[in-house]
Amino acid sequence: MSFVQQLRHAERLNDSLLCVGLDPDPAKFPTHWQGDASRIYDFCAAIVDATKDLVLAFKPQIAYFAAHRAEDQLEQLMAHIKRVAPQVPVILDAKRGDIGATAQQYAREAFERFQADAVTLSPFMGRDSIEPYLQYPNKGAILLCRTSNSGGDDWQMQRLADVPGQPRLYEHLAHLAQTEWNHNGQLGLVVGATYPQEIARVRELAPTLPLLIPGVGAQGGDAAATVAAGWRGDATQTTGPIVVNSSRAVLYASRGEDFAAAARRVALETRAVLRPTVAR
């Protein structure tokens, strides 16, 4: 299956729009593992086991592994997810943004070494920074578009005087991703949950693309508003899945030995908040 097909299958199977972000910070681990980077795999695997039937994707953030020299634990975790939850696609959150031979190596890292189903990319350097990833059939490339951080306004909200209609930068990117950049149907977009109006605008411009929406939970994004802005309706031509990410609220729901059970409770609650707004 393609990445988009995997998302749709997991959405139906687990009745979920929730993605759990795997951002392991040993300083926030349960008390009995606190500060122990050798437990990164154990912590993340426990979260995966507790939530694998509640999500449509997992999203490990590579920096949290690399900072602790734990890339081998990330490889182990990826293999674990493929083994225990083969129906759930995995998005490697790497935000790569280089070109040429370097981009080819980053694509190899994401799709061959770590066996990710999709990877997040920064498209600042243009189309040729994306093309090496599209050489992997059925893999996804999810481009930063309208991010949840306040500094995103510095570039993403600027108008382009040389483009007809003078769209904002994020609008132009959404249009390119929906049209001329997306020959193989592999692209998706990142749009922050803290900007529901811009989610709706991106959905208007890119009706068939998957939207990865971080910012629900600890970052303050409104889950119901997020889904209402990005969801596909039966009366429209919008077909793209939405992937609503929550990381810290799920991972660190408890500092005790019940951390995995607590993570499951929060994941259940978040899935339930997302579900009523979904048109059936």
* Element at 8 (helix H, strand E): helix 3-14
Is residue 206 within 8 Å of residue 178, measured between CB atoms? yes
CA distance 33 to 40: 9
pLDDT band at 86 (very low <50, low <70, confident <90, very high): very high
| pLDDT tens-digit series, residues 142-177 | 999 998 888 888 888 888 888 888 899 899 999 999
> What's the CA gap between 240 and 146, in Å, rounded?
17
Give the residue-averaged pLDDT of 206-230. 74
- Over 50: is that where the pLDDT of 3 sits? yes
Taking the CB of residue 220, how many other CB atoms lie within 10 A of it? 10
pLDDT at 220 over 60: no
183 — pLDDT class (breaks 50, 70, 90): confident
- CATH architecture, range 3-277: Alpha-Beta Barrel (3.20)
Q: Is the dihedral of CA 199, 202, 204, 207 positive or negative?
A: negative
User: What mean pLDDT is reported for the chain?
Assistant: 91
Binning pLDDT at 50, 70 and 90, where does residue 133 land? very high
Q: Who has greater pLDDT, 212 or 230?
A: 212
Segment 229-278, tens digit of pLDDT: 677 654 455 688 999 999 999 999 999 999 999 999 999 999 998 875 44
Pick the catalytic residue from 52, 59, 82, 95. 95
Task: Of 88-102, 134-148, 231-245, give the lowest mean pLDDT range.
Answer: 231-245
The letter for the amino acid at 165 is G
Helices (H) and strands (E) in the chain, counts: 11, 8
pLDDT reading at 72 higher than 70: yes
* pLDDT value, residue 25: 97
Give the pLDDT score at 280: 39
- pLDDT category of residue 222 using cuts at 50, 70 and 90: low
pLDDT at residue 279 is higher than 50: no
| Residue 166 region by backbone torsions, left for phi larger than 0, else alpha for psi between -120 and 50, else beta | left
Residue 273: predicted pLDDT: 87
- Per-residue pLDDT band at 196 (split at 50, 70, 90): confident
Q: Is 95 a catalytic residue?
A: yes
Distance between CA atoms of residues 204 and 122, nearest Å: 21
Look-up of token digits 């795999």? 41
Find out whether 161 and 172 touch, Cβ atoms under 8 Å. no
Whether the model pTM is above 0.85? yes
pLDDT of residue 234: 47
Q: Is the pLDDT confidence value at 219 over 60?
A: no
Question: Which residues, 6+ apart, have CB-to-CB distance to 190 below 8 Å?
Answer: 120, 142, 143, 144, 145, 146, 147, 211, 212, 213, 214
Query: Residue ranges per domain, the chain?
Result: 3-277
> What is the arrangement of strands in the sheet containing 91-96, beginning at the earlier edge strand?
57-60, 18-22, 242-246, 211-213, 187-191, 140-146, 118-121, 91-96
Question: Which residue, among 231, 252, 256, 228, has the nearest Cα to 242 in the 3D structure?
Answer: 231
Half-sphere exposure of 170 (CA within 13 A, CB side): 24
| Cβ–Cβ under 8 Å, residues 61 and 71 | no
